[in-house]
Structure 1
Amino acid sequence: MSLRGLLGALANDPQGAKLLSEGGDAFVSRSLRPYAIAALLDNQAARPGVVVA
């Protein structure tokens, strides 16, 4: 089962949409952090992204 369809849920939330469009700080639980990073990168698919852990 692919979770890619759920990545758009961040854009449907008012605070998530603001984060996607303007950037900024986000306090995300450790279990949701990979999901949030994937959603941010997926939203900017035309631009390259680098994740350093």
Structure 2
Amino acid sequence: MGYDRAGEVCRRCGTIIERTVIGGRSSFFCPKCQPVASAVTPPASPKKR
């Protein structure tokens, strides 16, 4: 979404950009366009037969 833009508005939806630290590095994201739940929820695995 953009480096060092925490507190500014998302260019796509107007929501405030947030900052988080992952592995000691800053990450900036829009919580509306990039919800955290989708980032940490693993994809469904195929069913075994």
Using structure 2 for the length normalisation, give the TM-score. 0.20
**Structure holding more strand per residue:** 2
Using structure 1 for the length normalisation, give the TM-score. 0.20
The structure, 1 or 2, with the larger RCO (C-alpha pairs under 8 Å, 6+ apart) is: 1
**Structure holding more helix per residue:** 1
